[in-house]
Structure 1
């Protein structure tokens, strides 16, 4: 029988947990005491009588000897066998024995060792190597989760505040709010640069979390764990916090933001300049109508501001008012006919109305206004004279 010296050995695992991979120059790694399937490829393999695996160069004394009757598959080019390997520090080598020749008094056939590293098997599973020490890698993942949450929260908290709103807070806010606004305004004026820096930092740390998590666990577990961590700790919680406390969080972490703006500057600056050229400057203006609505919204539930609100809104609305908007219908105007007698009762009624001028009409026609009565003139007249003064 001829045996191809460059034989190829394939190892598979019916239970899906026995093959650990490969090391070196194609040496197959198998987990001890787990049943695995070994596949031999070569020439004239249908003439094999036994296959053994030895770790001490002595095939006859091997504890793993598989006779031809135990072969799972056997052809001239492929032999499939299933067996278990004991834990050994040395490498397992394949020994094959040819069937006896069909001649009178055939010679006794002996084992032949296939001394090719591609056919070696090892049960010495090396310890798993991580990118970093396990504890350090866990700490780094935790730090990256915090940074992911910070970038996500600041992206919402800072970018939702326009420079005009920050300057408004700086001038009219509380002492603490003014301090926070003063710290944020310098970086917020470079809106697109800040946005690009936060997004690039967020993408980088999220990618690093996925890579480090995949190194610690399997692919599916890493996908679930990293996705859950990023969604909960990197998106939901920080954004809900920064919606309400974005000004305080942005001011207290301003040094971290500045550091990452400098770190990502070579990549973020060209992108931000392109956005500035395409989209233009960030400008938010408030016209009279917007200011009036803003006053109404912000003071709607505040007590004691009703009169001040009316004055402020009235002053801003005056330029848009017409005579038709402010005039009183003639049916509702307090008027007196020219035949009215100015007695004490009439004067009292006039004074109680609170008007300074009273229109006077003639001929029972309210549209025929002939004069005006100035209420102040009544103060200079003697009540007795008034009572004797009949027509106006």
Structure 2
């Protein structure tokens, strides 16, 4: 038995920084094994960073709407179109992307306590691991990857996602195909219905009204929405002469982002054209206001016409 143990110990050699006998005690310390300590510390920090990036990419990429990306690809700025073109091929592979990111995220989260336990007691390793994963691996990445810079950050990390997908492909692809078979692989872009489009236009108009009420409305070129003033009426019916008109920037968000009341009414009316009939909009004959052909247009008659 002793010879067998000696033979085993002679052939199975554990790396110094992972061996419990490498330091003065059971833990790897700076005094006893500085190389092993700093390697374990660097690996632990790297695992926290990897876990944070994977968690951030999971929430940042999977929360992107394909319809919005297609809209940006068509009507967005040059930069937004570039971002959308990079992201669409990755986002369309929903299950493959999900399995790949969760695979590396799980590896990082599970390996972190193992390396921390080499340099700190196990109880401290659990506390440090949970705290680091919670704050630096979940909360902070989620706030960054789903914030205002979601699109540029996600587009910048597309090459990283492609490399990870290639590495995890032998495992991720079968699992993704199984998910496609069980849950369905229909991840086509969802389209809005007529009522949803009308509601979207109404919400956009309402938000524009709220923004204009809070902002400075002193610019004469942007009349107050919802108020029918003589100035806005004249500007609509009698546009300025081309020689007097100022050049308008089509990309100016301050003028193109707001919808006027007439624009909203026209959009809603156009969407209802396929379902409305003449009977719905016509006035019944018994309710039609009529005047005798011999009637004189005096003030009293004019009041009656306006009151009708």
Give the TM-score band, short-chain normalised: 0.5 to 0.7
Aligned to 1:349: 302
What stretches of structure 2 of length at least 5 have no aligned partner? 1-8, 10-22, 209-257
| Runs of 4+ off more than 6 Å | 329-332
The answer to whether structure 1 residue 211 and structure 2 residue 114 are counterparts is yes
Aligned pair partner of 1:292 in 188, 198, 201: 198
Between structures 1 and 2, the one with greater helix share: 2
| Deviation for aligned residue 1:291 | 2.0
> Structure 2 residue aligned with 1:184, among 87, 90, 94?
87
Which protein has the bigger strand share? 1
1:161 aligns with 2:116: no
TM-score, scaled to structure 2: 0.66
Residue in structure 2 matched with residue 243 of structure 1 by the alignment: 146
Asked if structure 2 preserves the Cα contact closer than 8 Å seen for 1:153 and 1:246, the reply is: no
Could you tell me how far apart the structure 2 residues matched to 1:288 and 1:211 are? Answer: 55
Number of equivalences: 231
Matches within 5 A, 1:248-259: 248-259=152-163
1:196 CA displacement: 0.6
Task: Report the Cα offset of residue 319 of structure 1.
Answer: 2.1
1:260 aligns with 2:174: no
Give secondary structure in 1 for the equivalent of 2:191: coil
Matches within 5 A, 1:55-70: none
State the 1:346 CA deviation: 7.1
Deviation at 1:138, TM superposition (A): 2.1
Structure 2 distance, partners of 1:324, 1:267, is 62
Check whether the contact 1:154–1:246 (CA below 8 A) recurs between aligned residues.
no
Q: Deviation at 1:220?
A: 1.1
Within 5 Å, which residues of 2 pair with 1:273-292?
273-280=177-184, 281-283=186-188, 284-292=190-198
State the TM-score, normalized to the length of structure 1.
0.52
- Following superposition of structure 1 onto structure 2, how do residues 1-392 of structure 1 map, counting pairs within 5 Å? 125=24, 128-129=27-28, 133-244=36-147, 245-280=149-184, 281-283=186-188, 284-302=190-208, 303-323=258-278, 325-328=280-283, 333-336=288-291, 338=292, 341-345=294-298, 349=302
Structure 2 SS opposite 1:316:
helix
The Cα RMSD (Å) is 3.1
